[in-house]
Amino acid sequence: MTAPTSAPTTRTVGLAHGLSVSIDEYGVNSDGSAVLLLHAGAGPRTIAGLAAALSEHAYVVVPTHPGFDGTPRPQWCDSVADLAFAYLDLLDTLDLTKVLVIGNSVGGWTAAEMALRDTRGRIRALTLLNSVGIHAHLKKNHVVDPRTLAPAEVSKLSFANAAFRPDFSSFSDEQRAAAAANMQTLAIYGGDGFTYDPKLRGRLHRVTVPVLVAWGEHDGIAPLAYGRGYADSFPNGHFALIPEAGHFPHIEQLGRTLEAIGEFAGTVVKPDEAV
């Protein structure tokens, strides 16, 4: 646990094979417990509010996926599985032993891949917020490929409340270039399927830690039925609906999202495993 904080410190952590990861830390690691918070393709700024709120209860680590926001990405780091291994190495390096991994969209996909590979038992639970990663059984439940749409269309599908949608007309040339570069990096990690690994769903029965799948009810990117199917894929999966929210429930409905996470931690995750 840690004292409440809202101002992170930023540093770069060196990992294996020449990979370095920029992390924002909220609080101080005192007992090995932590929240690892993994961002979506829109970048780390989309989870800053959630990180600050969670820091009132826990030590929070927010890595920037290599290649995002201008950070370096070695050529070999080119899949979600590579990200998963990198972040498991990060848990080793930071000596974190009781970790709740929370991920949004591709960050949730990464969290699921981490749990499949966590041979050292550092992860105690997962929370997936409108995550991608699995292949939909039914075509009507598929995830929208944002590469086929204009940014304004993606934004409309992502947010239930128009007030939260970015005004792309106000972006500077530098902001547009940064957003385009992030999308290019996301495409590298996504691979051929872009939003999913066709084999992931069939492997999730091996994830034995408790998993909360929390879903913005009005997500136009990854529909509600897809989210329920994700939760059903885990042997200890739990589903929470977040009303009046889209693909980023922690932005549109921060309070409700925190409430869902808190209830999950308090009633499903064992007390000695909660962070």
What's residue 270's pLDDT? 66
> Residue 6 pLDDT more than 90?
no
CATH number (domain holding residue 106): 3.40.50.1820
pLDDT band at 112 (very low <50, low <70, confident <90, very high): very high
Report d(CA 50, CA 149) in Å as an integer: 27
**Residue 2 forms part of a structural domain:** no
Residue 141: per-residue pLDDT = 73
266 falls within a domain: yes
Question: Domains in the chain: how many in total?
Answer: 1
Q: Are 105 and 134 in contact (CB under 8 A)?
A: no
Q: Is the pLDDT of residue 100 over 70?
A: yes
Residue ranges making up the domain that contains 47: 9-273
Span 112-117, average pLDDT: 98
Question: Does residue 124 form part of some domain?
Answer: yes
200 within a domain of the structure (yes/no) = yes
Classify residue 4: in a domain, yes or no: no
Tell whether 74 is covered by a domain: yes
Q: Is 90 exceeded by the pLDDT of residue 118?
A: yes
pLDDT in tens, 121-143: 999 999 999 999 999 876 667 89
Q: Within a 10 A sphere around the Cβ of 225, how many other Cβ atoms?
A: 14
162 CB neighbour count, 10 Å cutoff = 8
The pLDDT of residue 71 is: 97
Q: What's the pLDDT score for residue 176?
A: 92
pLDDT for residue 2 is more than 50? no
Q: Is residue 3 assigned to a domain?
A: no
The pair of three-digit structure tokens given for residue 212, joined into one six-digit string: 């909360």
Question: Does the residue 1 lie in any domain?
Answer: no
pLDDT, mean over the chain:
93
pLDDT of 73 strictly over 70: yes
Percentage helix, strand, coil for the chain under 3-state DSSP, each rounded to 5 = 45, 20, 40
